[in-house]
């Protein structure tokens, strides 16, 4: 088993009002088989053993599903590996003696709570602004009762793969949430079940995105580059079309 010693520069911030700063740590004995979050667990064990306060960071499923593992690693949201969430990033992608910087996602809509943990409840409010999808009560409809083309179904499923991690916001120079909102609008707009609230949903979600302080999209495509699920920026174009139709109808 290959082990390495790493120099880590980690953002430490007591609370939202604190200025915060980078703090350096040296961590020996890191296995190449560890995930990035397991490495942080080992670092925290070392800090606690030395009488310090552990680094606070978000995590939950550790399977690339929940989107909680929101870290900027060496300046890249979720780190250097494409289509990989932080929890799926393994230390074999680094080498002995590497200097790794670890920071939180930074955006007005993602205020820092402590250390590497940010408040992403703005995403929840955007989703809530979209409202509901109308369904008839009673028995479940028969399979294939509502025809949906394979092309539309595939595009909707691709959009629905978004885990709401916020990497798109962290990577965008404008801190735009357009890829996230575009994906959430698209997954319903592409299917007939989403038609009844289609216009209202697009207008309310985009308006809420703006109200949360996220910036405007200027087509840098950094969001698509760092998205762990590979969500296409075509969803941003669809969001804009849906919103424009909503405000002129």
Q: CB within 8 A of 141, min separation 6: which ones?
A: none
Return the SS3 of 152: helix
Please tell me the chain's helix, strand, coil percentages from 3-state DSSP, rounded to the nearest 5.
Answer: 40, 15, 45
> Residues 7-27, buried b or exposed e (16+ Cβ, 10 A)?
ebebbbbeeeeeebeeeebeb
Question: Domains in the chain and their CATH numbers?
Answer: 3-114 (3.10.20.30), 121-248 (1.10.1060.10)
- Which two three-digit tokens encode residue 55? 């680094």
Banded model confidence at residue 186, pLDDT cuts 50, 70, 90: very high
pTM of the model: 0.93
Q: What is the pLDDT of residues 45-91, one digit of tens each?
A: 999 999 999 999 999 999 999 999 999 999 999 999 999 999 999 99
Query: CA-CA distances (angstroms) from residue 240 to 165, 192, 243?
Result: 22, 19, 5
Q: CA 60: distance to chain centroid?
A: 13
Model confidence pLDDT, tens digit, residues 226-235: 999 999 999 9
């Amino acid at each position: 088993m290959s082990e390495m010693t790493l120099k880590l520069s980690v953002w430490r911030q007591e609370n939202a009002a604190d200025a915060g700063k980078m703090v350096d740590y040296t961590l020996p004995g890191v296995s190449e088989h560890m995930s990035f979050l397991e490495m942080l667990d080992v670092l925290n064990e070392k800090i606690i053993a030395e009488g310090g306060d552990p680094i606070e960071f978000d995590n939950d499923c550790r399977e690339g599903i929940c989107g909680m593992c929101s870290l900027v690693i060496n300046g890249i949201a979720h780190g250097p590996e494409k289509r990989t969430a932080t929890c799926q990033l393994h230390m074999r992608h680094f080498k002995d003696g590497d200097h790794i910087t670890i920071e939180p996602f930074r955006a007005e809509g993602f205020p820092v709570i402590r250390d590497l943990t940010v408040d992403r409840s703005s995403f929840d409010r955007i989703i809530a602004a979209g409202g509901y999808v109308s369904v008839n009560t009673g028995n479940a409809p028969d399979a294939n009762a509502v025809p949906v083309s394979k092309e539309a179904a595939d595009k909707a499923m691709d959009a629905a793969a978004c885990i709401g991690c916020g990497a798109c916001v962290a990577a965008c120079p404008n801190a735009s949430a357009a890829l996230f909102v575009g994906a959430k609008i698209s997954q319903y707009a592409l299917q007939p079940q989403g038609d009844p609230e289609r216009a209202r949903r697009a207008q309310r979600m985009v308006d809420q995105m703006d109200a949360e302080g996220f910036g405007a999209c200027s087509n840098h495509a950094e969001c698509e580059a760092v998205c762990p699920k590979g969500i296409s920026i075509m969803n941003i174009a669809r969001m804009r079309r849906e919103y424009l139709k909503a405000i002129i109808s």
